[in-house]
Amino acid sequence: MAEIKLTRVDYRLVHGQVVTQWVKICGADRIIIVNDELADDEFMTDIYRMSAPAGVSVEVKTVDQACEEYKANAFGGGKLLVLFKRVEDALAAVRGGVELADVQIGGLGGGAGTTTAFGIAFRPSDVDAMKALDQEGVHVHVHVVPAQQDVELPDLINKLGF
């Protein structure tokens, strides 16, 4: 059975902060990216695999594949960093049977219809999905970089006014 060391939602997926900080802090030797679109894009999957630090493998799965693999063998072995591009994907995985105790929000992208708090742009749908994860018993919090303070979901909701 794999040990999930960190579950993070970050639209950038494998990038500088993940590679240089979060992988080291959590001691992961495997990264599982869960995203339907990326799972169908061999070129970008290869880019993410090449972006990982030495000794850390990267696997890309659809939400359904992740749920099936989790139910079959709890993601195999190793120490995992599980990455989601969107909060909705994390919620779908939990509802599909993936047991996540904790989900860290690290970056959701910007654009129209977002409100920024604690260095992250949030859409109302992001907050709705975070609330739903919380109702599923998952601890949800914002933590962009290790040096920054961790922000709990109620504090985020209060700040955003959603």
Q: Which domains, from first to last, does the chain contain?
A: 3-160 (3.40.35.10)
- Predicted model pTM: 0.93
Q: Is residue 5 within 8 Å of 83, Cβ to Cβ?
A: no
Mean pLDDT by 10 residues, the chain (162 residues): 95 80 93 96 94 92 97 94 97 98 94 90 96 98 92 93 82
Contact 115, 122 (CB under 8 A): yes
**What pLDDT is recorded for position 61?**
97
pLDDT of residue 134: 98
CA 3 to chain centre: 15
Write the DSSP assignment of 108-122 as a string of letters: ----TT-EEETTEEE
Name the token pair of 19.
């590679």
Annotated active-site positions, please? 15
**Structure tokens, 158:** 């209060």
Look up residue 146 and give its amino acid: P
pLDDT at 18: 67
